[in-house]
Structures are given as C-alpha cells and as structure tokens.
Amino acid sequence: MGNRMRVVYYMNQFFAGIGGEDKAYEPPTEFEGPVGPARLFEKKLGGKGIVVKTVSCGDNYFAENAEKVKGELLERIRSASPDVFVAGPAFGSGRHGIACATITSTVAKELKIPAVTAMHPENPGIDVMSMPAYVLPTEIMATTMDNVLTRISKFVLKLVEGQAIGDSKVEGYISLGRRVNIIDPLTGADRLFPLLWAKLKAEDFTTEVPLPKYEVIPPPPAINEIAKATIALVTESGVVPKGNPDGLVSWSEERWFKYPISHLDDFTSTTHQTVHGGYENTNVNQDPDRAVPLDVVRALEKEGRIGKVADFLLTTSGNVCTTDSAKRMGCEMAEYLRRERVDGVILTST
Amino acid sequence: MPEVAKKIGCNRVVKGVAITNPTGDPGLPVEEERSLRRKVVLQALSALEKEVKTG
C-alpha cells in the first residue's frame, strides 16, 4: 500500500458534535472526512493515512436497535472502501463502549481489515469485543484523549504495516484470549515452579492463565407465597427526593441512600427527580414512576397481589460506577434488606 | 440492557421499555402507559415466583 491508507472512523453522537443525551436516539449518520476526535487522530497518522468518512449513531438508538444499526453502519463503512477502521475511544461510557465494540468487531470480521477501538478495561463493551478486532485500554475520563489517540495511531500503523503483534502487555492492548504460539526457552514445569513458590509464600505473582472475572451467583429460590411477601424497590437510576437532599452525584457514585416511601402511592415531578448523568433525564423527571414503578407496585399491594411494599426506596446513581463499588453497594444493600426481612427485590436500571 | 445484566451474572432479568424510561413510555396516553408499566412489573413478579437455574 504505497498510498495513504483510507480510514473510516466511528464515534457516538456526543463526540461527533451532534448533541448530548438529548440526541442519544439519533439514527446512524455519516460525515465526509474526519469529525471530532478523528481530526486529531488523522494528524497523528503523520500523513500516512486520511480519515475518508466518519460514521456516528446515537448511543440509545444503537443499544435498542443493535442488529439493524450494525447492518446499516457496515454498508456505510464498506462503501468508503477503507483500509482500516477505528472507533471511539469510549473511555468509561458503557453504551458508547458497547457500540464501539460491536461495530469494530463486526467490521474486523466482515470486511477483514484491521479494526481498533479503545475503552476502560471495565467497560461492558469489552465483553462484546471479538477477534480479530483489537481494543486498547484507556482511563475512565476523556481527559487522556490525546494520549489515547497517539497510542491508537501507532497501533494502527503497526497493523497496517503487517508487523507482528506480540503479547498484550507488551503491545498495550487488552487481551481477548487470542492465542499465538511462541517458543519459550523454559518448559512449562520450569515456569510453573516460581509461580507456585511465590503463591506458597503469599507473594505476588502473575498467572499465565487469568480466570474470568465475574463470579457465578447461584439464583436464590423462588418466592413461594408472593401475596404475603415484602417486596423492596431498589434502583440505580438515580431517583431521589426533589432537591436531592444528600447530594447523590451524577457519575462515579460510591454511596447509596434510603428514602421513605410508605407515605406515597406514586412518584411525581414535584416529589422526586433523577440526577443520573448517564441518560437523558426529561422522561423520568416528568414522572419518576418511569424508572421506579411505585404507582403500580403500590396498586398491586392494595390488590393483595403482593404482601407489602418495603418502607424505603434504596437508590444510587449507577453511571460510570466501577464493578468494585457496585459490588460493595450491592452487598451493603442486601445486608440492609435482609435485616428488614424483605423477601424479594425489584431493581430497576437504565 | 438485559445482555449486560446477564453477562455480569444476574439470574432474573426483565427487559425494560427503553434506556430513558425502563418502566414507562412518554409516547403513550397516561392509561396505556400505566398498563405497560403494570405489565413489566408483573413480569418481574413472575420472575421472582419462578425457580431459576444458573447458565
């Protein structure tokens, strides 16, 4: 490839300058040339490539119409005859990460060209990544954009020049379990012993085979007599009493709060609001039952379909929440709910 | 986004209406929206009443 390589670049509606959460339902669209971060990315290619097209889609539209969007974006990308595809970076944004991972993996598989994206290692998009696409790690916040684009551009140039890509830790990408046979001077037995010795001494060591991260949670038994059961409402949608008395934050929250609801049949725009920064809040602010269905659950209690609605709503803001924080909060909430003799939980999420 | 919940290991997952309104729909008249919300909640209750196996 003597000429400059042709790049097609994907980003969500925010980075493409279309709008924020208010435009998250925008369908796929495209721009000629580079837009948003693709402009800086193109500069970093140092004349070796040009971004011929930027494609974009609203995060919510993508999440709710993934199959259709995949197909449509693939055709828009294919029609630009790219040599390389780049998406994101998505940093800590879950929906953007899932969209980037989905389209990058699809392009790699269907168009058989190098395809690279980037996001935080805990982004749920990582679980959607598939080979032969690549994903580079980033911080949670987009403040490191310049550094990330530099890394992506160097990685892309390596791929395009046909250079061998080695171990993920050395090359700076997130391992997806790609297996490449290499000859190691030491046998398996020789490599095993130092690891075992370190483990027995309770010292740090790096395993050669990391086990999957998420634990298997055995499902609790079903509720036998739900007409006698106490059901609690829990949410990560950020619904709080109007005025947000405890200052629940809109992202990266590490606390949860409980608010009394036994005196309420319904949430309204005068009694409650949401502060979650990860979705457009208008619909839920108009009627918070759209995120936490108190009106219906209270009616079912009155009808005798359930025994009782628990006295308190447990709430947090799940936006850009690390898995460690979420797990800790979940355990704390569970302990509280068990003390309150709650039989079952309806936990709502956006 | 039920796929994310299932991936993390949630056993009882009910699909909500939309990201900006999991248990509602501002495009519907009030009574119809209430019915829709009731339908989603009844699905949730049904999940609580059902024995579930992992995997």
Q: Is A8 on the interface with B (CB under 8 A)?
A: no
Phi, psi (deg, nearest 5) at residue A258: -120, 135
Position A178 confidence tier, pLDDT thresholds 50, 70, 90: confident
ipTM: 0.95
User: Percent helix, strand, coil in chain B (nearest 5)?
Assistant: 45, 5, 50
- Which neighbouring-strand residues pair with A134? A116
Backbone dihedral angles phi then psi of residue A5, each to the nearest 5 degrees:
-75, 150
DSSP A206-240: --SSPPPSSPPPPPPPPPS-GGG-EEEEEESB-EE
DSSP of A178-211, one letter per residue? -------SS-HHHHHHHHHHHHHTT-----SSPP
pTM for this structure?
Answer: 0.71
Lowest-pLDDT choice from A68-82, A212-226, A323-337: A212-226
pLDDT at A180: 72
**CA–CA separation, A304 vs A313, rounded Å?**
20
pLDDT score at B53: 82
H/E stretch holding A30 reads: strand A29-32
Count of helices and strands (H, E) across chain B:
2, 0
Domain ranges of chain B: 2-48
For A76, half-sphere exposure in the C-beta direction (CA atoms, 13 angstrom radius) is 22
Chain pair A-B, CB pairs under 8 angstroms: 121
pLDDT at B9: 84
Q: What is the CATH number of domain A5-171?
A: 3.40.50.2300
Rg of chain A over Cα atoms, rounded to whole angstroms, equals: 24
Q: Are A260 and A312 within 8 A, CB to CB?
A: yes
- For residue A116, the model assigns a pLDDT of 98
CB contact under 8 Å between B4 and A283, yes or no, is no
Contact A293 B5 (CB under 8 A): no
pLDDT tens digits along B3-30: 888 888 899 999 999 999 999 999 999 9
Q: Look up tokens 């197909």; give the residue.
A: A71
Q: Which of A95, A283, A289 sits opposite B37 (nearest CB)?
A: A289
Average pLDDT over residues A12-34: 97
pLDDT tens per residue across span A149-165: 999 999 999 999 999 88
pLDDT tens-digit series, residues A103-148? 999 999 999 999 999 999 999 999 899 999 999 999 999 999 999 9
Q: Do A226 and B11 touch (CB under 8 A)?
A: no
* Lowest mean pLDDT, pick from A1-5, A21-25, B14-18, B24-28: A1-5
**Residues A342 and A232 sit within 8 Å (Cβ to Cβ):** yes
Q: What letter does residue A343 receive in the DSSP assignment?
A: -
Between A15-24, A109-118, A120-129, A210-219, the lowest mean confidence (pLDDT) is in A210-219
Percent of chain B predicted with pLDDT > 90: 75
For chain A, give every domain's residue range. Answer: 5-171, 226-348
A46-78 confidence digits (pLDDT tens): 999 999 999 999 999 999 999 999 999 999 999
Place of tokens 């999440």: A63
Report the greatest alpha carbon distance in chain A: 75
Mean pLDDT, rounded, of chain A: 94
pLDDT at B16: 96
Positive/negative CA dihedral, A162, A168, A173, A178 = positive
A178 Cβ under 8 Å from any chain B Cβ = no
Nearest to A347 by CA among B46, B17, B16: B16
